[in-house]
Structure 1
Amino acid sequence: MEHTNPLEHETGYCGNESAGERRSHHSDKMKANLITRLNRIEGQIRGVKGLIEKDTYCDDVLNQISAIQSALGSVGKLLLEGHLKSCVVDKIQAGDPDIIDELLVTVNKLMK
């Protein structure tokens, strides 16, 4: 019986490795969601640059930076959730215990 991931339509799946290249396959809906969020973040960053150029009060700039960090954290959480529910599960089921060490390194980076 072929393994199918019930989250494939929602989050996509990872691990399609051809010629050593690791790739993830997100649904069109997930890609659109992530790109929309990243475009918004990109706009926020340009806004902060403009605030600095206009000598805006530091506290106001710092609050905008905090909002950007929160938005980036949300993107990271979405990707991490999809990764856990698909890539990590698939690799564990395939007998690849190294995925846990890889995941721990990634989570440590995200938590900094």
Structure 2
Amino acid sequence: MDEHQCCCCGGTEKTTQRSDEEKRKLLNRLKRIEGQVRGLQAMIERDAYCYDILTQSAAVNAAMNAFNKEILARHIEGCVARDIRAGKDEVIEELVTILQKLMK
């Protein structure tokens, strides 16, 4: 992974540079998830059957999990690996913290 695709400190704020193509794909994925959530809202408004709502909710969860897995993989392969090689072991605690949040 190229350095420009990893988290880079700008003072106290970290950022991750992504290609236009990567941003487009991630944003499209989030827009599809947003559409699924709006579908859930519409189902509630029209008093849809609970099973159908739960099925749609499970699809939203699966879509978010897939999104998180993609971001996490890029983070580990790029940012975390780079920081560990640079001796910045604090990134390990950061990784543990985010994994705990994702596994709730």
TM-score by length of 1: 0.87
Percent of residue pairs bearing the same amino acid type: 39
1:81 to 2:73 alignment: yes
CA apart distance, 1:13: 2.2
The counterpart of 1:35, out of the listed 17, 24, 27, is: 27
Q: Tell me if the contact between 1:44 and 1:64 (Cα under 8 Å) persists in the aligned partners.
A: yes
SS of the equivalent of 1:96 reads: coil
1:101 to 2:93 alignment: yes
Q: CA RMSD of the aligned region, Å?
A: 1.1
1:110 to 2:102 alignment: yes
Gaps of 5+ in 2: none
Aligned to 2:18: 26
AA at the equivalent of 1:83? H
CA apart distance, 1:19: 2.2
1:49 to 2:51 alignment: no
TM-score by length of 2: 0.93
Structure number with the higher strand fraction is 2
Structure number with the higher helix fraction is 2
CA apart distance, 1:14: 2.3
Gaps of 5+ in 1: 1-6
The counterpart of 2:55, out of the listed 42, 51, 63, is: 63
